Amino acid sequence: MVSRVIPVDPFDLVIFGGTGDLARRKILPGLFRRFIAGQMPEGSRIIGAARSEHDDAEYREVARAAIEEFGGEEKKDPALQDFLGRLHYVAIDATGEGGWSQLSGLMRDGVVRAFYFSVAPSLFGPLAERLHQHRIADGDSRIVVEKPFGRDLESAKALNATLASHFDERQIYRIDHYLGKETVQNLMAIRFGNVLFEPLWNSHYVDHIQITVAETVGVGGRGAYYDKSGAMRDMVQNHLMQLLCLIAMEPPAQFEADAVRDEKLKVIRALQPVDAHHIVRGQYDAGEDSPSYRQDSENPRSFTESFVAMRVMIANWRWAGVPFYLRTGKKLKARSSEIAVVFKDLGHSMFEGDEARHRNILSIRLQPNEGIDLQVTIKEPGPGGMRLVDVPLDMTFADALGPDGEDVPDAYERLIMDVIRGNQTLFMRGDEVEAAWAWTDPIIEGWERRADVPKLYEQGTGGPEDAQMLIHRDGRRWRDIKG
Ligand SMILES: NC(=O)C1=CN([C@@H]2O[C@H](COP(=O)(O)OP(=O)(O)OC[C@H]3O[C@@H](n4cnc5c(N)ncnc54)[C@H](OP(=O)(O)O)[C@@H]3O)[C@@H](O)[C@H]2O)C=CC1
Ligand SMILES: O=C1O[C@H](COP(=O)(O)O)[C@@H](O)[C@H](O)[C@H]1O
């Protein structure tokens, strides 16, 4: 099978924060992979922009070093030199006047102009203002806005208003890199591309749904940011919420930006408030040889959560009474992200002596080993009569699709190419982000009001004991976190 590369128009992509961690770790290596794949047409340029003084040659060395450090196999590709030749640099201050006329002079007509805000969120507004003031952005330009998009409803509204005073909504690409992950898109393909699942996708057949995003990393290196954020703002309000929307939304009429985003918004608006009883916060303790969260964040009195588990209900016809259990945390036992749709038990077993509960479980593995797995019940092989056993019908995309199944763009690559193509389907709309904050704000405010103390949990486990209780109380259990 040969991967299809959809052509894009020539573009100028300006990366504000082009020397920063995200640019070096993800954006530049990703763009090099797209260059190799033929998605950077002749005449396209990448312009790094940050305060530090560099000329083009020095910036190319920054990019070369980044690709060497963070790139994969592609770093050995002889096309690297040609790619670096497409890079330019402007020293610019987002909050001052330095560099703007130089950037303005670099802009060309006849190519797509995209501006990636890979800088601290406090600079999103000043960048938008200056792009507008200096007439660097035209009516077809796109801006890509990184997370976090605000830290509550009020700040998200203010940021939306600032951006809206300079750009139309169709020009604003709010990034959630989970939406760019291959398997997250597969979620929609599995749901809406198979006749098999949709009839069962409701409260008549689904017992509950589990969404897990487990990480083994801690917050070392990003402690200052994370400690003001916590798992709720960092992961739940955006990534987990987006997964929840995709799994729960009604079928959109088309796979088109507003059709998909309208349906996601309806899910967020139908979320019931979560009471304290249905949510557990945790913070990782010190391990034998590894620091605690408080040490990593350099805040010895921190009450920020590095883990959240919660039971969420959606008040609509399709999902009435079906719990969605969400959990995410750092320093857990494995890196594993999965959505599991657990179907109801059979109403009656015709097989004598079969007392086990048999249930179908559709598990969509987002990472690692992207794939799907459907647990089905079959007869145990051998002469032992009609004894039933549950087995997985397992498909790893890499196995099923061969080497090309592995050769897929990573989330950032895909999303940047969508920006150039002008496709907003996998980006969050302003009202979606606000609705998500409107739902999370009361939860966070409740913690602050009660001075809630997160439960400590042992590193390398599934989180605090209370998270087990959260689901056990309902007579269910979490799926194992397996890497
Ligand atoms: N790093 C990551 O893994 C992730 C990051 N993000 C988001 O991406 C954004 C960037 O993060 P990250 O790369 O880690 O941040 P860094 O601190 O590593 O980089 C910040 C960049 O902004 C530049 N910069 C700082 N101040 C100004 C200014 N006044 N004018 C122009 N440029 C400026 C810096 O260069 P200089 O100092 O030379 O100006 C640098 O290039 C943030 O919004 C973050 O939340 C989101 C998800 C993951
Ligand atoms: O946005 C973020 O995501 C990462 C997890 O992303 P993944 O692609 O590695 O699953 C998380 O570590 C980080 O805290 C958060 O800001």
For each of the domains in the chain, give its residue range(s) and CATH number, in order of start: 11-146 (3.40.50.720), 179-408+429-472 (3.30.360.10)
Distances in Å between the Cα of 328 and the Cα atoms of 103, 171, 218, 247, 476 are 41, 32, 12, 17, 18
In this predicted structure, what is the pLDDT of residue 1? Answer: 45
**Which of 239, 277, 278, 358 is the catalytic position?**
239
Dig out the tokens for 19 from the structure. 């020397």
Consecutive H or E run containing 311: strand 307-312
Residue 292 has phi, psi (to 5 degrees) of -80, 170
Ligand 2, atom 3, residue with closest C-alpha = 235
In 3D, which of 302, 327, 323, 305 has the Cα closest to residue 314? 323
Distance between CA atoms of residues 450 and 384, nearest Å: 58
Ligand 1 atom nearest to CA at 18: 41
Q: State which ligand 1 atom lies nearest to the alpha carbon of 95.
A: 29
Could you say which residues of the chain have pLDDT below 50? 1-2
Pick from 438, 483, 454: nearest CA to 332: 483
Give the pLDDT of residue 4: 67
Instruction: Give the global pTM.
Output: 0.94
Q: Is 166 a catalytic residue?
A: no
The predicted pLDDT at position 2 comes to: 46
- Predicted local confidence at residue 379, as pLDDT: 84
ipTM: 0.98
What are the tokens at 43? 């005449």
pLDDT for the residue numbered 405: 55
Percent of the chain with pLDDT over 90: 82
- Cβ neighbours of residue 290 closer than 8 Å, sequence gap 6 or more: 218, 331, 459
Sorted by sequence, the CB contacts under 8 Å of residue 194 that are 6+ apart come out as none
What is the reported pLDDT for 406? 56
**Residues lining ligand 2, Cβ inside 6 A:** 215, 234
**Which residues lie below 8 Å from residue 267, measured CB to CB, with a gap of 6+?**
244, 245, 248, 249, 314, 316
Q: Whose CA is nearest to atom 15 of ligand 2?
A: 234
Question: What is the number of other CB atoms lying within 10 angstroms of the CB of residue 161?
Answer: 11
Residue 437 is predicted with a pLDDT of 98
